[in-house]
Amino acid sequence: MNTSLHELGLLATAAALAKKEVSAVELATALLDRAAQVEPKLNSLTWQERDVVLAAAREADTARAKGDTRPWLGVPLAVKDVLSVNGQPCTAGSKMLRNYVAPYDATVIARLRAAGCVFVARTNTDEFAMGGSTATSCFGPTRNPWSPARVPGGSSGGSAAAVAARLAPAALGTDTSGSIRQPAAFCGVTGFKPTYGRVSRQGCVANASSLDQIGPLARSVEDAAALYQAIAGVDPLDSTTSPRPVGGVLAAAQQARDLKGLKLGVPREYFIAELAPELAQLTRAAIDQCAALGAEIVEVSLPHVSASLPCYAVLGSAEASASLARYDGMRYGLRVDAPELMEMYDRTRAAGFGDEVKRRLLFGTLVLTSRYHADFYLRAQKVRTLIRQDFLQAFTACDALLGPVTLTPPPRLDAAPDSASARQWGDYCTAGVNLAGICALSVPCGFTADGLPAGLHVVGPAFQDELVLRIGAAYQHATDWHQRAPTGLE
Amino acid sequence: MNPAEKSDPVDVRYVAGLARLALTDAEAAAYQHDLAQMLAFAAQLRQVDVANVPPLQVLTEAQSAWREDVPAPGLSREAALQNAPLVRHGQFVAPKVVE
């Protein structure tokens, strides 16, 4: 069994551990060996220490031997390098935090730790989660497991690549404008961005706080639902979390077999000229599959989709500029010494932040100055209202939306994925979801002729997370795209 | 005339000062160009009719959230200082701020 332990998904891993078919140490060893084999090609992890991981796994095995039956005991997870795990580095892919070691657990980590999880690796990210390629990390770019010349997407590209390459059964990521769903689509895994307010961000390195949300990347919707259910729910340490009960999301996903009685809307604005014909075709085929499962398909309109990217560029950068103000070289992180305080700030931040982060920091600062505030920042907030209203209007005609996650397959790493054109188109289908605060899922829905994965976007109203996961689970029950694995990584 | 027209370039040094970011001359020139590009991109928002549209500033339903008023341990001094760039006598050390 040992040779294929890394193939087990999240729930399968938990079940194998519970039945004592495998020990946590055996599992961890298999994943560590797998990583040693494929990481030279992928660079999806920013930290993994064999001794630390094995010690945690041994602890889980000892607890089980003493009668501990916690459901996630010994289950290995990878964590995006923006979420604090006590005692592990938390770098956000930035020179600024290159030597930072988290002194506490993020709320999501505390919940998973209490359930018995073993945190086996930290995954690469665009610096401060700002990017769509994982190429802006200070650890260098991560490669796409399906085609190492291409990007895995981002910013949770390390998590998506690690899950696709079988370095962990599942991982946590964060999504500010598409950073879970876009890499999930590019790497052929399942990624879920929960409703804003569903998952606590306490202990998460902030990018843009009115948009950021933590969510799972996994090999199936059921695995993603299980991980989501374990981290979701109100947290007194994050005042934006909702007290609404999370419910039995996993059970609902596990029971999903068809889509009868559901009306699913297809926004015509997603099928624009910039959408690669192959992806349009794969998306249409997936929508047909949903119809075959019993859903009624209706066309809907989101008139302000094209405004979502400039809207995000303004609001995301403005919020990021505020989030980054804390990096002052004083209490943690890099410091470049200078005789005067202000000069110390200026030099520290110049040395600690990378190019893309500086660009957003400057732009965010600019649109918040009195000269530009009304014309850009305030206007973007008004456009955000319209974008949200579009979704609310669409959901009066249907239960959820279907469409593509990305406009193109993963670009080549040398094609400057964070160029102006990426800014213009990169998160076209995904950013509106964050601006509206709703939930969305990316599920694998096929491959291009070149063997590159594509994702189906399932978008639901706020707090209809269970519905979205149910739709994705029914789709996966009828398809096997999510079971394909990249080859030739060894 | 709109205040953000191209004819009136961005003062990148002023913005970098507000953002507390030292820039080399080469960086200043590059970001000057990038900021102009980004402003032009964001200016697409002017095509949207936002008359009488309220700004969306708060997404959550909660009005204000209160935690239970119970004492709980915070970070130990050791943990709080473990990532500090410079520590003396169990405290963060800052450059001199008064003359």
B40: nearest CA in chain A?
Answer: A310
Average pLDDT rounded to a whole number, residues A225-233? 98
B44: nearest CA in chain A?
Answer: A310
B2: nearest CA in chain A?
Answer: A375
Average pLDDT rounded to a whole number, residues A410-418? 79
pLDDT value for B98: 80
Confidence at A415, pLDDT banded by 50, 70, 90 = confident
pLDDT value for A420: 54
Q: In A73-205, at which residue ranges do the beta strands (DSSP E only) sit?
A: 76-80, 118-123, 170-175, 190-193
List the CATH number of the domain containing A179.
3.90.1300.10
Say if pTM beats, i.e. exceeds, 0.95: yes
Does the pLDDT value for residue A257 go beyond 80? yes
> The tokens 């039945």 sit on which residue?
A19
Does the pLDDT value for residue B99 go beyond 80? no
Does the pLDDT value for residue B69 go beyond 60? yes
pLDDT value for B24: 97
Q: Which residues of A are catalytic?
A: 80, 155, 179
A336: nearest CA in chain B?
Answer: B85
Picking from B22, B35, B97, the nearest residue to A350 by CB comes out as: B22
Q: Which residues of B touch A371 (CB under 8 A)?
A: 3-4
Total count of domains within chain A = 1
- How close does chain B come to A337, measured CA to CA in Å? 8
SS (H, E, C) A228-258: HHHHECCECCECCCCCCCCCCHHHHHHHCCC
Contact B95 A337 (CB under 8 A): yes
Picking from B4, B56, B84, the nearest residue to A372 by CB comes out as: B4
Confidence at B60, pLDDT banded by 50, 70, 90 = confident
pLDDT value for A79: 98
Confidence at A380, pLDDT banded by 50, 70, 90 = very high
Picking from A103, A346, A424, the nearest residue to B79 by CB comes out as: A103
pLDDT value for B5: 47
Contact B46 A375 (CB under 8 A): yes
pLDDT value for B58: 84
Of A2 and A289, the structure prediction assigns the larger pLDDT to: A289
A&B contacts, CB < 8 Å: 179
CA A250 – CA A227 distance, rounded (Å) = 9
- Residue A133 Rama label (left phi>0; alpha psi -120 to 50; beta): alpha
CA B20 – CA B12 distance, rounded (Å) = 12
Residue A105 CA from chain centroid, whole number: 19
Residues A2-11: pLDDT tens digits? 459 999 999 9
- How close does chain A come to B29, measured CA to CA in Å? 12
Count the neighbouring beta carbons within 10 Å of the beta carbon of residue A37: 15
Contact B20 A345 (CB under 8 A): yes
Does the pLDDT value for residue A226 go beyond 50? yes
pLDDT value for A67: 97
Confidence at A133, pLDDT banded by 50, 70, 90 = very high
- Domain membership of residue A191 (yes or no) is yes
Confidence at A469, pLDDT banded by 50, 70, 90 = very high
Average pLDDT rounded to a whole number, residues B35-53? 96
Q: Which residues of A touch B27 (CB under 8 A)?
A: 358
Confidence at A1, pLDDT banded by 50, 70, 90 = very low
Does the pLDDT value for residue A342 go beyond 90? yes
CA A262 – CA A279 distance, rounded (Å) = 24
Cβ-contact A168, A45 below 8 angstroms = no
- How close does chain A come to B51, measured CA to CA in Å? 9
Contact B31 A345 (CB under 8 A): no
Cβ-contact A246, A282 below 8 angstroms = no
Contact B41 A384 (CB under 8 A): no
Confidence at A131, pLDDT banded by 50, 70, 90 = very high
Contact A420 B37 (CB under 8 A): yes
Q: Which residues of A touch B39 (CB under 8 A)?
A: 363, 366, 372, 376
A331: nearest CA in chain B?
Answer: B84
Does the pLDDT value for residue A180 go beyond 80? yes
- How close does chain A come to B7, measured CA to CA in Å? 15
Of B61 and A235, the structure prediction assigns the larger pLDDT to: A235
- Domain membership of residue A219 (yes or no) is yes
pLDDT value for B1: 39
- Domain membership of residue A352 (yes or no) is no
pLDDT value for A424: 59
- Domain membership of residue A263 (yes or no) is yes
- How close does chain B come to A200, measured CA to CA in Å? 13
Picking from A196, A365, A424, the nearest residue to B18 by CB comes out as: A365
Tokens of A382: 């008004």
Average pLDDT rounded to a whole number, residues A280-295? 98
pLDDT value for A8: 97
Confidence at B66, pLDDT banded by 50, 70, 90 = confident
The boundaries of the domain holding residue A240 are 2-302+390-483
CA A132 – CA A383 distance, rounded (Å) = 23
Contact A101 B35 (CB under 8 A): no
SS (H, E, C) A308-377: HHHHHHHHHHHHHHHHHHHCCCCCCCCCCCCCCHHHHHHHHHHHHCCHHHHHHHHHHHHHCCCCCHHHHH
- How close does chain B come to A238, measured CA to CA in Å? 9
Contact A314 B45 (CB under 8 A): yes
Confidence at A426, pLDDT banded by 50, 70, 90 = confident
Picking from A103, A332, A382, the nearest residue to B50 by CB comes out as: A382
A307: nearest CA in chain B?
Answer: B45
Does the pLDDT value for residue A224 go beyond 70? yes
Does the pLDDT value for residue A419 go beyond 60? no
- Domain membership of residue A48 (yes or no) is yes
- Domain membership of residue A141 (yes or no) is yes
Contact A382 B55 (CB under 8 A): yes
Does the pLDDT value for residue B27 go beyond 80? yes
- Domain membership of residue A380 (yes or no) is no
pLDDT value for A126: 97
> The tokens 């600062």 sit on which residue?
A365
Kind of pairing, strands A263-267 and A296-300?
parallel
Contact B95 A196 (CB under 8 A): no
Picking from B31, B41, B57, the nearest residue to A423 by CB comes out as: B41
Kind of pairing, strands A190-193 and A439-447?
antiparallel
Contact A378 B55 (CB under 8 A): yes
Task: Indicate the average pLDDT of chain A.
Answer: 96
Domain boundaries, chain B: 1-47
Residues A80-95: pLDDT tens digits? 999 999 999 999 999 9
- Domain membership of residue A143 (yes or no) is yes
Q: Which residues of A touch B61 (CB under 8 A)?
A: 197, 242
